[in-house]
Structure 1
Amino acid sequence: MITNTELEYKGDLFPSAVTEIRQDADSVFFHTDNNVILKITILRDSLIRFRYTTKGYFSNDFSYAIDKSQSHGYNALELIEHDTFYQISTSKLICRVDKSDLRILLTDLENNVILEDELGFHWEESYQFGGNIVKMSKVSHEGESYYGLGDKASHANLKGKRVENWAMDQYAFHKDQEPLYKVVPFYIGLHNRRSYGIFFDNTFRTNFDFAQERRNVTSFWAEGGEMNYYFIYGPQMADVVTTYTHLTGKPEMPPMWTLGYHQCKWSYYPESKVREITSKFRELQIPCDAIYLDIDYMDGFRCFTWNKEYFPDPRKMVAELAEDGFKTVVIIDPGIKIDKDYWVYQEALEKDYFCKRADGPYMKGKVWPGECNFPDFTNPEVREWWAGLFRELIADIGVKGVWNDMNEPAVMEVPGKTFPMDVRHDYDGNPCSHRKAHNIYGTQMARATYEGVKRFAYPKRPFIITRSAYSGAQRYTSSWTGDNVASWEHLWIANIQMQRMSISGMGFTGSDIGGFAEQPSGELYARWIQLGVFHPFCRTHSSGDHGDQEPWSFDTEIVDITRKFVNLRYQLLPYLYTMFYEYVNDGVPMLKPLVYFDQDDPQTHYRTDEFLFGNHILVCPILEPNAQGRRMYLPAGNWYNYWTGEKVSGRKELWVKADYDQIPIFIKEGAVIPKYPVQQYVGQLKFDEVTLEVYYKLGKEKSFLYEDAQDGYDYNKGRYSLSTFTFNGKENQLIIQQHKEGKFEVPYGKFKVNLHGLPFKVKTIYIDNERADAEATRFDGTTLFIDKDFTELHITGA
């Protein structure tokens, strides 16, 4: 056994014995005789913050990640001293602090161990940078599993992995490559059917080791800053994810069009090419809501300018695209070209808004425009200025969304691909070097962009997408997983990344469908579309260097498959919009890995492929070529094969046939799935009927349908409609009750109800206690039409 003394000899330092303890409201302070202070704060009965300092006092408490609007409160807080430890108890947890070295033990109220320190907190003096390398090690139990950490391109279960958090431009990254574009230092542990979470809120370069270096130890450390982490107790994974998402914040509702299909390429230009692409979508009747303009729309890659040769009248073009249902999204990068005749550069120069090196000059680096300076987005005054730059793009020209790229920040022709570490940042009044600000630079750029687009798009809702992000970025922006590759391996990676991002608080995420680098085969593109329509953000994006990647770039069979699945996404828009409502209001992830859905089943702990899309749709993509089906695992419950209607019981593996134009999709029994008619773009049709797909279950189930004006902010004034469908199935009857709340009047008043799996022959149909005959409802045995809104549908069997 390694002792603390031996490790001290190797350079690591440890807290010594507790000499003083005091309580201040919801916080307890532990002081040691070597100047360590541990501050334990009870935020909720199942949410505890641990904050350490080694200098005898705490620096200013500031975080970009924490949502300041979140609510705190607990039911119980009791502090008791024992012979060898102090004990803090809440109504859900017991936290023991060792008197000799501050090591922590967390248990539930029955003294079942949830998490325990191995060496606990220790540190290494970093004289090179004048701070500490702060470290924490925990015991990793036999059979313990780990999930989360954002966009990592590795197996869903992180046991045995080591990962690094440092936002980096990783063109054509590969499986297990570290680090990637995003930094989400939050993981979920699962042990003995109990789930917990750790959020290490430290923006320096951080590392996590999940029992790779030492078999029974999980550790995390940072190259500076504080050991500052939040412990979240479930015991259900759903509780952990929801609490973390509340802690770091949730987005507002997006405009519904952002949930449609988007088309992007590096690059669509000139204007005639853009119109050719958009016209082809309408000609082929493949729904599409957004077209993207990459860096070539600018004048010499200068942000907030237009190339008048390629786009002579952008306002007219954007308006005419909008008439055809296309919303225009443009790219904006952080690098501002050094050019004395460029108005954005001149403004920033005059106001001293660019990042500076430690010895004074502006940080200079090469990006697409050539030599650039870079705004310091950690300065609130700079963010306010940046927000104002969007007036022309949004208010005058009519652009509907902004795409922030290269904001890790990425710099060309330097070994580290980013700023020198001596660059200085304001950090909202907490001055620091780039070592601390690097990982949140992209988020603060996205925040400034969000504030500008929201200001000038009002009363409509903004749409922002970012490549780089830190925990909490979801409050301002959606994201995508960066420059992936057209390969089957990357299709597998994309599937895992979306699930991982969803349980890491960043639900509104997608991958570049088909792959950004290189060229996919028609089959790979088809399989990617089939998966991508079940991701919250759905966009094909490719590099022009490798050929075209529009659906019609392949053969007619691929066009038909693309149309079929994009049509399905548009039919499911009310279901997807409702998923987003649950995410925004309750912190519920839109995609749910099997382990999230059924953590008590050990078979789910290492599943990577299958996931829940919302609450009721199980999706399993085809991830290899020439497949006519695949083996997959059905979790607990009974499920209907979407394509065949066959009902199958869960908690077992099975072979599922999936032709070229299908992937395995199953619907949970008892579900009521709303569908809209297919539209070529959101808002194209005014319809008076919505379809309800009803899947019989012997028992009860709840489904929801959230609707509002699909844009704008009236939903915050109560102008929304939330229908709760309570399904109650019995041996010879089916009852669906609909309870409505909200002041929004939906535009339709009729329902088409498709009944799946009824075990009896229908004898009578009652709608709101009035008997309806088969002719009145046009009932054909599986489908009935209800020509009014209803409170209760009651079907009985013979």
Structure 2
Amino acid sequence: MLCTVFLPPKWSLGYQQCRWSYDSDKRVQEVTRTFREKKIPCDVVWMDIDYMDGFRCFTFDKDRFQDPKSLVKDLHQNGFQAIWMLDPGIKVEDGYFVYDSGSKTDVWISRADGKPFVGEVWPGPCVFPDFTQAKVRSWWSNLVKDFICNGVDGIWNDMNEPAVFKVVTKTMPESNIHKGDDELGGCQNHSHYHNVYGLLMARSTYEGMKLGNAKKRPFVLTRAGFIGSQRYAATWTGDNLSTWEHLHMSIPMVLQLGLSGQPMSGPDIGGFAGNATPELFGRWVGIGSLFPFCRGHSEKDTADHEPWSFGEECEEVCPLALRRRYRLIPHLYTLFYMAHTMGTPVASPTFFPDPKDTSLRKLKTSFLLGPILVYASTAVGRGMDALQCTLPKGIWMSFDFDDSHPDLPALYLQGGAIIPVGPPHQHVGESNILDDLTLLVALNEHGKAEGVLYEDDGDGYEFLEGGFLLTHYVAELQSSTLTLKIAKTEGSWKRPNRRLHVQLLLGGGAMVDIWGKDGEILQLSMPSEQEVSQLVSTSEKQYRTRLENAKRISAVEVSSAQKGIELSRW
């Protein structure tokens, strides 16, 4: 009924670093270079409004961003994509090509008296495109098409409620007039179209990116949206605060967006307004690294909020968290393929495996990524080692990547599931179809498990013509022998000639494994009950030792002034 999410380019599943603002090309290069020097995984850097010439959309500041094409070329060589902001407010200024062409084409929202509405935003007095008209969406799309020739990999539509300064409502008057197309409702006042304005802007931006490069999948992020906006854009949860309360709120917000049809969402990791403490930032990266959309962001005049900005302990936790995410990208990408083709959420509530258990509906610090249960702590001074996890009924096998830490969530795999895992690359572009593939297996009560892996080029549209490989793996335990094989495949891709590492979870984080070749039948002899008991005991001891020896992030009290901070982005 609502249409499913766009299949995102694979690089957009990596970690993304943003700030209001990295205000020069030199600062952008400094930040991205530091990620690589410190070996902290990252795929994307974002440019907020200060890259523009006087906040004029579709322009670049000639002093601070002299050559955006050259900048993006350097970023690409280092494995980074570049995303740039575009707002709907267009500066009223004769000689500014966007304003001139829009006025000539009559694209602006008008007041009740028929004159263009002018409202104050970042550039000063601004007019606003009427995206309810096809001709206006086409006009905007063509501007976007020309804009991405500068090396734009993605576009960020902000302020598109639309936001207007210096008014109580923080938006335009409801009496403003939209000359909407008949199919949308025709000529109506703004109160009729307000809720879909952001969606229509995102649609126009998405279509413009496709016009500019039909061989690449567009990536658009929108602040405002409506039912159906998932077809065109990801959504973040808005300008939040650097507080424990807002960290706690971020989990149900992402889950509710997923249940509403928008699976590609996440918060500003670390909080947008205010200064995060090291403990808060590290905990937020730990949780946020497992959200569908994973971006750190902070506002002007706050302390730096990059992963290395909070001291030694936090800088140890953040790479651990992000390497987890990169190991799980084969699984996340598969979940997005399922969301695209079937409409399923990527992140879902903990009660999904057992809807009859109403107590699970009250859990606000855990969520599912397919069959993976993520259980987190959002309480100051209380790490995962101080919590007792509440699990749905059935078999849930704990696992990690030898990276357990009090400030990272606990992970469980549901019995009966197989998930694909890859190497912890520094960016998605490092991955190769010939990389070793790992399958984590958790058997159900019948000694069986199944799972899928989706693979394609990671961008473009070859997958629509069958250019992909969808593999259904099954495992079964019979007579103390586990057999893993391929049940069926879909797509025209040939299977890569790669090694396969099968890890069977036994409980308590323990596992037994076997190496082989992907596509062949693998058989693993099970250890005896006594050996399993010993493996589990040893693993649990190692887990406790890792937690005890971990460098905990010190709890720092937040000042009362910071606790009361207000959002200033409006």
Q: TM-score, normalised by structure 2?
A: 0.88
Among 113, 133, 138, the alignment partner of 1:379 is 133
> Do the aligned partners of 2:372 and 2:413 also contact (CA within 8 Å) in 1?
yes
For residue 251 of structure 1, report the CA deviation from its aligned partner: 2.4
C-alpha separation in 2, matches of 1:542 and 1:683 = 26
For residue 643 of structure 1, report the CA deviation from its aligned partner: 4.0
Matched, 1:749 2:537: no
SS in 1 for 2:174: coil
For residue 757 of structure 1, report the CA deviation from its aligned partner: 1.1
C-alpha separation in 2, matches of 1:324 and 1:599 = 46
C-alpha separation in 2, matches of 1:659 and 1:569 = 15
Q: Any stretches of 5+ residues in structure 2 without a counterpart?
A: 529-570
C-alpha separation in 2, matches of 1:595 and 1:668 = 13
In structure 2, the partner of 1:506 is: 262
Matched, 1:695 2:442: yes
In structure 2, the partner of 1:677 is: 423
> Do the aligned partners of 2:504 and 2:512 also contact (CA within 8 Å) in 1?
yes
Give the counterpart letter for 1:509 in structure 2.
S
> Do the aligned partners of 2:438 and 2:500 also contact (CA within 8 Å) in 1?
yes
Task: Report which of the two has the higher share of strand.
Answer: 1
C-alpha separation in 1, matches of 2:405 and 2:380 = 12
In structure 1, the partner of 2:560 is: none
For residue 637 of structure 1, report the CA deviation from its aligned partner: 1.1
> Do the aligned partners of 1:698 and 1:729 also contact (CA within 8 Å) in 2?
no
Matched, 1:631 2:388: yes
Which of structures 1 and 2 has the larger relative contact order (alpha carbons within 8 angstroms, sep 6+)?
Answer: 2
For residues 194-246 of structure 1, give each alpha carbon's deviation from its aligned partner in whole angstroms, at most 9, with x where no partner exists: xxxxxxxxxxxxxxxxxxxxxxxxxxxxxxxxxxxxxxxxxxxxxxxxxxxxx
SS in 1 for 2:460: coil
For residue 575 of structure 1, report the CA deviation from its aligned partner: 0.2
Q: Provide closer, same or farther for how the CA distance between residues 260 and 574 of structure 1 changes in structure 2, counting only shifts above 3 A.
A: same
C-alpha separation in 1, matches of 2:7 and 2:495 = 17
In structure 2, the partner of 1:640 is: 397
> Do the aligned partners of 1:408 and 1:418 also contact (CA within 8 Å) in 2?
yes
In structure 2, the partner of 1:314 is: 68
- State which structure, 1 or 2, has the greater radius of gyration over its C-alpha atoms: 1
In structure 1, the partner of 2:242 is: 486
In structure 1, the partner of 2:340 is: 584
In structure 2, the partner of 1:183 is: none
The 5 Å alignment of 1:602-641 reads 602-614=358-370, 616-628=371-383, 629-641=386-398
For residue 791 of structure 1, report the CA deviation from its aligned partner: 4.5
**CA RMSD of superposed structures (Å):** 1.9
Give the counterpart letter for 2:397 in structure 1.
Y
For residues 489-546 of structure 1, give each alpha carbon's deviation from its aligned partner in whole angstroms, at most 9, with x where no partner exists: 0001101101111111000001000000001001001110111111110000000221
For residue 355 of structure 1, report the CA deviation from its aligned partner: 0.3
SS in 1 for 2:59: coil
Q: Provide closer, same or farther for how the CA distance between residues 643 and 287 of structure 1 changes in structure 2, counting only shifts above 3 A.
A: closer
Matched, 1:497 2:253: yes
Among 687, 697, 718, the alignment partner of 2:466 is 718
> Do the aligned partners of 2:269 and 2:284 also contact (CA within 8 Å) in 1?
yes
> Do the aligned partners of 1:380 and 1:428 also contact (CA within 8 Å) in 2?
yes
In structure 1, the partner of 2:313 is: 557
Give the counterpart letter for 1:427 in structure 2.
G
Matched, 1:455 2:211: yes
SS in 2 for 1:535: coil
For residue 671 of structure 1, report the CA deviation from its aligned partner: 2.3
For residue 706 of structure 1, report the CA deviation from its aligned partner: 0.5
> Do the aligned partners of 2:376 and 2:408 also contact (CA within 8 Å) in 1?
no
> Do the aligned partners of 2:441 and 2:449 also contact (CA within 8 Å) in 1?
no
Q: Any stretches of 5+ residues in structure 1 without a counterpart?
A: 1-246, 646-657, 760-780
In structure 2, the partner of 1:21 is: none
C-alpha separation in 2, matches of 1:270 and 1:398 = 16
For residue 731 of structure 1, report the CA deviation from its aligned partner: 5.8
SS in 2 for 1:493: helix
SS in 1 for 2:175: coil
> Do the aligned partners of 1:698 and 1:728 also contact (CA within 8 Å) in 2?
no
> Do the aligned partners of 1:610 and 1:633 also contact (CA within 8 Å) in 2?
no
Among 660, 677, 680, the alignment partner of 2:406 is 660
In structure 2, the partner of 1:139 is: none
Q: Provide closer, same or farther for how the CA distance between residues 382 and 368 of structure 1 changes in structure 2, counting only shifts above 3 A.
A: same
Q: Percent identity at matched positions?
A: 40
C-alpha separation in 1, matches of 2:140 and 2:226 = 20
Q: Provide closer, same or farther for how the CA distance between residues 730 and 713 of structure 1 changes in structure 2, counting only shifts above 3 A.
A: same
Matched, 1:405 2:154: no
Among 507, 531, 542, the alignment partner of 2:287 is 531
In structure 2, the partner of 1:428 is: 181
Give the counterpart letter for 1:622 in structure 2.
S
SS in 1 for 2:19: strand
For residues 292-347 of structure 1, give each alpha carbon's deviation from its aligned partner in whole angstroms, at most 9, with x where no partner exists: 00000000000000001001111111111111111000000000000001000000
